[in-house]
Amino acid sequence: MRIQNRLLKYITELFRLIVGATFVFSGFVKSVDPLGFTYKIQDYLISFDLVSLFPLALPAAIIMVVAELVVGVLLLLGVYRKFSTIAVTIFMGIFLPLTLWIAIYNPVEDCGCFGDAWVISNWDTFYKNIVLSIGAVMLLINNKMITPLFSSSTSLVATIFSIIFGLSFAIYNTVKLPVIDFRPYHIGANIHEQMQVDPEKGDITQTVFIYSKDGNEKEFTEDNYPWDDSTWVYVDMQTKLIREGEKPKIEDFHINLYGYDEELDELYIEDDITEDVLNNSGYTFLMTSYFLDEMNERHLNRFIDAAKYAEESGVKFYLLTSSLVEDIMSWRSEHINTNFVFAEADERVLKTMNRSNPGLILLKNGEVVNKWDDGDVPDFSIHSIDRWDERSNVQRNFWIKLMVILSLFIIPLAIVKVYDVKQNREK
């Protein structure tokens, strides 16, 4: 009997680590980019025809990622065992059937459960949730076997700190750019390369020819279609997906330059400058604003100064937006002193490129050299533009930021633990 209890405890503790670590990882990578998770929630609202709930998407995203992170931390710390196991079971009770529905009907291609850090298919998400649901039930039934890392006197302090940390971290990454960028437009990314995929790893398709004979239709391939048999009448040609392969990380990056007709006083699409921008061996500034009427204009002068610097230095500067032409014209007439060169780009692409509205991206040879939110755009007249090239520091900055984040979370908990041990010894 003791051997069975010991084995059950080992299994319970194993599930505690698996489920807790998964919740922490999922909550963390989404709290790094709450706006990204917000857009994913909006995708679901669109599929459910609940667009009126868009204003609730951001607060819902922050609450969900913080709750996920904190519940995972509570499991790993082993505190409030009954509450945390009930919370995990409720989580999985909601998301298991939801992800099954998503896997079957595929309203969105990526569920967003791990943000942009790790994209998995909807079916893989469902299978993952089956394992987590089994673990959640196991933990709920055997929650008393979980060994707490903190005593009851310090559990509340550790829990409150975890909530404050998670909430502060998510809000910071909402008002500023994500402290760690998992998107395909991160600093150092080559946009042109991200738009391509190895043909051997891409989709495998087959061209099917449909012919009719005596009122019956039949499908043929390129190898056996009856091109020399006049009794068969051609009906249609289709391309069938045989096997789904890898997708390019960037699929909809296109930039159309607007021209201005002075006589008619209107903008028109003048040219596709996508390749010109990506192949430019010099620097290119891309100011992004998915909707001009939603732009935060508090730091607009920073962008005006950057555009003036670009003009004086022979550097290209474009304002990319998905706003309607009439909205661009209206905004342009209200901000005559800006003198920006406008270009059209997809709304979702602009939101992915830079979460800030407006934001600024610096490119060279199609690579992202640096990017800023509206409040951090530097004065380029002070330092040479080469000073802002951060491509060589990407890996170093990633590990530094990760270590700082972990330290800010772990060190306070370690201090609480030391106090906990000392207090127990005195007792």
Residue 186 lies in a domain: no
The predicted pLDDT at position 96 comes to 94
Please tell me whether residues 353 and 330 are part of one structural domain. Answer: yes
Strands 216-220, 233-243: pairing kind = unpaired
Band (203; pLDDT cuts 50, 70, 90): confident
Residue 411 belongs to some domain of the structure: no
Domain containing 48 equals: 2-175
* pLDDT tens-digit map of 139-172: 999 999 999 999 988 999 999 999 999 999 999 9
Domain-embedded: residue 348: yes
Cβ neighbours for 55, distance < 8 A, ≥ 6 positions apart: none
Could you tell me if 18 and 153 lie in one domain? yes
**Same domain? 213 vs 320:** no
Residue 248 lies in a domain: no
- Do 310 and 333 have their domain in common? yes
The closest alpha carbon to 356, from 282, 418, 298, 401, belongs to 298
**Percentage of the chain exceeding pLDDT 90:** 75
User: Is 357 within the bounds of a domain?
Assistant: yes
At 141 the three-state DSSP class reads helix
**Is 92 part of a structural domain of the chain?**
yes
Q: Write down the pLDDT at residue 225.
A: 86
Nearest to 77 by CA among 4, 135, 160: 160
Residue 315: which residues within 8 A CB-CB, separation 6 or more?
A: 282, 283, 284, 285, 309, 385
Residue 215 lies inside a defined structural domain of this protein: yes
Indicate the residue among 160, 175, 190 that finishes a domain: 175
Q: Are residues 209 and 301 in the same domain?
A: no
pLDDT of residue 207: 87
Same domain, 264 and 121: no
Domain end: 243, 268, 290, which one? Answer: 243
Residue 285 CA to residue 316 CA, distance in Å, equals 6
Give kind and range of the element (H or E) at residue 372.
Answer: strand 367-373
pLDDT at residue 332 in the model: 93
Same domain (yes/no): 133, 222: no
pLDDT at 241 over 80: no
Q: What pLDDT does 204 receive?
A: 77
Distance CA 397, CA 389 (A): 13
Query: Tell me, what's the pLDDT at 108?
Result: 82
Using alpha carbons, list the distances in angstroms from residue 79 to 143, 152, 163, 292.
10, 8, 14, 48
Looking at the structure, tell me whether residues 48 and 146 fall in a common domain. Answer: yes
Task: Report whether the peptide linkage leading into residue 358 is cis, meaning its omega lies within 30 degrees of zero.
Answer: yes
Asked if residue 379 and residue 311 are part of one domain, the reply reads yes
**Structural domain count of the chain:** 3
Task: Please indicate, yes or no, whether residues 366 and 284 belong to a single structural domain of this protein.
Answer: yes
Query: The pTM is what?
Result: 0.87
Is there a single domain that holds both residue 60 and residue 140? yes
Least confident of 156-170, 241-255, 348-362, 403-417: 241-255
Least confident range from 18-22, 115-119, 172-176, 197-201: namely 197-201
Q: Is residue 394 part of a domain?
A: no
- Do 86 and 12 belong to one domain? yes
Dihedral sign computed on CA atoms, order 86, 92, 95, 96 = negative
3-class state of residue 316 by DSSP: strand
